[in-house]
Structure 1
Amino acid sequence: MTSDALGTSLTSLTQLNPEITGEQIVASLVPPAQFDAAHFDNYRPDTDYPSQQEAVEFLRGFASAAAAPAKGGRFLRLGRKKKTAEDSQKNGVYLDGGFGVGKTHLLAALWHAAAGRKYFGTFIEYTALVGALGYAKTVELLKGSALICIDEFELDDPGDTMMMTRLIGDLVAGGTRFAATSNTPPNALGEGRFAASDFLREIHAMANNFVTLRIDGLDYRRRATSDQAVVADASTIETAVEKVRAAGGVATRDDFAEFVDHLASVHPSRYIKMVAGVDLIAFDDVVVLHDQMEALRLVAFIDRAYDAELPIVASGVPLSEIFDEPMLNGGFRKKYLRSVSRMIALTSAPKA
């Protein structure tokens, strides 16, 4: 059952356990609605960080370059280095930088600018497609496409990363070009600013086909918001939910702990269908998470809610503080910081 089918009868996300087919995944491989109008001309580079404008200029060339596979070449880290026409002829470009610097906007702008058959999806959507159709059928389906954009390339699952590297190799051989992003935190606790070395290591077999674009900058989501997710009381939640429903919209309201439990029964590739048709999400009694799997499932859900630009109202612990210290200091730190940024933006959004 989907939220579209339930319509205004949907009152809780725990009512949903949607299915998704390979054909539906393929149909969803386009930029999220918030990037429908994303173009190079409406990207607003921060003048304090010249690499943002440099990225725009390079990607314009990449979009217009011939789709034929590049021969030879090397894995370049661009930023302060001069970009060449030869670089734009490579088969892949990796947008490397902290979250909130506009990488997804630029990726979507590239997709819109490119001609021919093209696909845009998150790393998890492509791996889900392989799971639904099988590897051979996925290659057959995507073969011959002009451009494949991979947002949020995951480097922490060796099996999935190897599978995606193999997929890239098989499709590049047929002339397909690739563009990818991933996320790193902005100078947090002195850790490495960029993930290019990680990306290079994990896709070593394909590294010579990729140019790496370094994009500096601050998280734009934090420029106009506070550093904490907004907390609502029960009365505020009730008012927000009723306002949406009175206008004929769909507002869900869930106990946070019950919702987190429910996510375990739904594959992350199906979270996109959980948010379809929903206008407002409300959570009661948010608590700090201590289980890694619960936290990672929530991160995946928040990514889909963010793509759908769904406002969230929540009581209890601020959503920006739900990941405990061991998580924030562990191997998935980058994911959690990105999710915190997105939850701050969603709870700060104007309420429907």
Structure 2
Amino acid sequence: MRWDRSVADSGANPLDIAVLLLPPVSLGTLGAIVDPFVEANRLAGRRHYDVHLVSADGAPVALPGGGRLSVGGALAALVRCDALVVACDLHQAGANESDILMQLNRLARAGAACCGNRGGTGWLAAAGLLENRRVAVHWEDMTLYRERHPGLVLCASLYEMDADRLTASSSQATLDMMLGVIAQQVSPQLADNVARQFGLDRIRPGHEKQAVPATSRIAQHPPKLAEALLVMEANLEEPLGADEIAECVGVSRRQLERLFKQNLDILPSRYYQELRLERARQLIVRTQQSIVQIGLSCGFSSGSHFATAYRAHFGITPREDRSRATLTGSTPATEPPC
């Protein structure tokens, strides 16, 4: 089975989509995932998609507003599928977390495309299924993902389709993403017709960026620059190249450099390094982590490289800075909990 195959041909078999419900999950979240495929089948007059629900243990799933939603079986009983969509409003580890992560990996190895909404993405990331992939993360969750999952290429986009890994930043973005799937696998016309059934005048493309509240620190900047700043802040441990950042934001490298120069009077590479150094200084003065480890976690290739850049920027070595912080009593005795 292949997720990227077309199902538009009259003889094509329906794509088998399993939706894993992991509490807390609302009917709104479920509808954003399931309804586009159901409506596509109805409007097309044939089954392009077979959608079925599963839960971790096969038992009905409790809904946040009360009531329970029945499913067709347990995750462990699912042998294989074309796509597994993890539906969850908030990733919360539980007693059966290790078993769920094991089953997610099993199905991914069997060839299932892995998709997640905002909370579902957290489960996929915890399972290690999003490493080195572009991942759409809600702007509120950027810092958390940066700290917990440094191997992800975090993006401030509405949704990302990186081969067989699909992630959406919100419930509304999940709806757009599923409409985008229909456009790719069946036809843009069918996807547009489905969108209009939901009262939408257009399908937002994945590369559109999330609306960040005006209270955000970066909202004062032009939208493309603000998006670049979010991407940089989300990828400190393994810094992206200027071309990669520009691609995530949807501009050319020259345009990116012009934005930084006009608004911040600095080149993107220089700003990125200073951002990583500021993060490193926070860890130097507030924790007892190894200085070398801090340098590596902030994207510097070696201890000497880190120390040189640190001194050039702050006029003091990391070790001297920590000693000064210790004397003033600002460094904790132990590493604070995550």
Instruction: Indicate the TM-score class for this superposition, using the shorter chain for normalisation.
Output: under 0.3
TM superposition score normalised by structure 1: 0.22
Q: Decide which structure has the larger Cα Rg and report it.
A: 2
Whose RCO is larger (CA < 8 A, sep 6+)? Answer: 1
